Structure 1
Amino acid sequence: MPANDPEVRSLAARIMAAERWGHTTDRTAATAPARAGLRAKFAREVDPDGILPADELETRVGHLMHAHMLRMSLASKASRARRRAERDAS
């Protein structure tokens, strides 16, 4: 199978993820930098000049994080529905 085949790439990515998490003792600590980076990105979006009080900034960042997670959930649901439709059509 060619490496540019989406199924092969997906399987390879799943293998790599399984290996990574198999060698990781603290998943929360391992993903902390990514979460901090995303929060920082949202903080820059809502307060590019750095003038908001810390509690207001945290509230707004929390709302943006929530919206981001909801968008990912919606995309996941659409992807599952699309795969289900493709599987049922074949």
Structure 2
Amino acid sequence: MSDPTTRRLAAQVAAHESWASTSDRAARTAKARAALQARFENEVDPHRLLDAEERARRVEHARSAYYARLALKRHQAVRNITRATEALNAADTEIQETA
């Protein structure tokens, strides 16, 4: 089971089976959500000098920036894949035309 596609599919099966047997999704993900919240709080106010309202406002912006950055990276990756695919198709066409 060393090929990446097989590993990915097996992991998907395991994940779906695990979620199918989970009765309380919120409880299962609570620690991860709390850790992400703490990460953003530590990022914007590591010494806890801000009042709770200002910290919450900044945390929300930090969270938005985090997800916007992920979206940007995804967009760039898709664009690069598209360009590479177009270059590959152009090369294939050139090869077929010269054959």
Return the TM-score normalized by structure 1: 0.73
Alignment of 1:1-90 (within 5 A): 2-3=1-2, 5-78=3-76, 82=81
SS of the aligned residue for 2:26 comes to helix
Consecutive unaligned residues of structure 1, counting only runs of 5 or more, are: none
AA of the residue aligned to 1:47: D
Consecutive unaligned residues of structure 2, counting only runs of 5 or more, are: 90-99
* Structure with greater Cα Rg: 2
Cα distance in structure 2, aligned partners of 1:77 and 1:12: 27
SS of the aligned residue for 1:18 comes to helix
AA of the residue aligned to 1:65: R
Over 6 Å off, 4+ runs: none
AA of the residue aligned to 1:28: A
Cα distance in structure 2, aligned partners of 1:39 and 1:65: 9
AA of the residue aligned to 1:45: E
Q: Deviations over 1:2-24 (max 9, x none)?
A: 42x22122112211210111011
Cα distance in structure 1, aligned partners of 2:26 and 2:69: 22
Instruction: Classify 1:30/1:48 alpha carbon distance in 2 versus 1 (closer, same or farther; 3 Å).
Output: same
Q: Quote the offset at 1:72 in angstroms.
A: 2.7
AA of the residue aligned to 1:6: P
Return the TM-score normalized by structure 2: 0.68
SS of the aligned residue for 1:49 comes to coil
Percent identical among aligned pairs is: 41
Q: How many residues align?
A: 86
